[in-house]
């Protein structure tokens, strides 16, 4: 029997520095229950695949002509909502549907399956590490105000610098 493993396919920006700068701007507003995402990326697909097919998926993902594509970073988003965010993200204006569909078909032809519907393209800045923590109203208001102040700084154009495939 062939063992299967979970696989993540994502892209990384050519210049991650603007992501780090925006993340730092929120650091004094967020409580310690949130941890920074220090490796900016956009998830393309998560799937379950036979271990012996991971290299094929990596090769296929690298041939998708994603490197060098330009995308916009256009606004903050709190997931699932601003009152009780589990993650603070930057929305990424890039259409990955064709690439996702191609990879999903590739994975299924190799006896694999997507793990979930891929999220809208985004780059996570902060993620809640303590599930029991609930943000209080004052902190939520401070976060909303800071994000509003930073909104114009959170809009820029970026390029994809690398495609990455990892098991988890």
- Cross-strand bridge partners of residue 113: 48
Q: Per-residue pLDDT tens for 51-72?
A: 999 999 999 999 999 999 999 9
Residue 44 tokens read as 């393309």
Run of H or E residues at 73: strand 70-79
Q: Max CA-CA distance within the chain?
A: 55
Q: Which of 160, 128, 144 is nearest to 75 (CA)?
A: 144
156: left (phi over 0), alpha (psi -120 to 50) or beta: beta
- Rounded to an integer, what distance in angstroms lies between the CA atom of residue 92 and that of residue 76? 10
Mean pLDDT within 15-30? 92
Placement of tokens 């396919």 in the chain? 9
How does residue 45 score in pLDDT terms, banded at 50, 70 and 90?
very high
Q: How far apart are CA 22 and CA 37, in angstroms?
A: 12
pLDDT of residue 75: 85
pLDDT in tens, 128-163: 998 778 888 899 999 999 998 888 777 889 999 999
CATH code, 4-167: 3.90.1140.10
pTM more than 0.85: yes
d(CA 118, CA 60): 18
Burial 17-47, CB ≥16 within 10 A → b, else e: ebbeebbebbeebbeeebebbeebbbbbbbb
């Amino acid at each position: 029997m062939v063992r299967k493993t979970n696989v993540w396919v994502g892209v990384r920006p050519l210049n991650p520095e603007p992501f780090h700068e925006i993340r730092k701007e929120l650091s004094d507003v967020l409580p310690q229950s949130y941890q920074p995402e220090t490796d900016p990326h956009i998830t393309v697909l998560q799937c379950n695949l036979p271990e012996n097919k991971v290299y094929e998926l990596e090769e296929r993902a690298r041939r998708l002509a994603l490197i060098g594509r330009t995308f916009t970073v256009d606004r903050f988003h709190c997931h699932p909502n601003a009152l009780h965010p589990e993650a603070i993200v930057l929305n990424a204006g890039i259409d990955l549907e064709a690439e996702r569909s191609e990879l999903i078909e590739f994975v299924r032809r190799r006896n694999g399956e997507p793990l979930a519907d891929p999220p809208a393209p985004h780059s996570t800045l902060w993620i809640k590490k303590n599930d029991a923590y609930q943000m209080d109203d004052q902190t939520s208001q401070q976060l909303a105000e800071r994000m509003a102040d930073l909104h114009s700084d959170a809009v820029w154009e970026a390029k994809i610098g690398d495609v990455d495939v990892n098991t988890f």
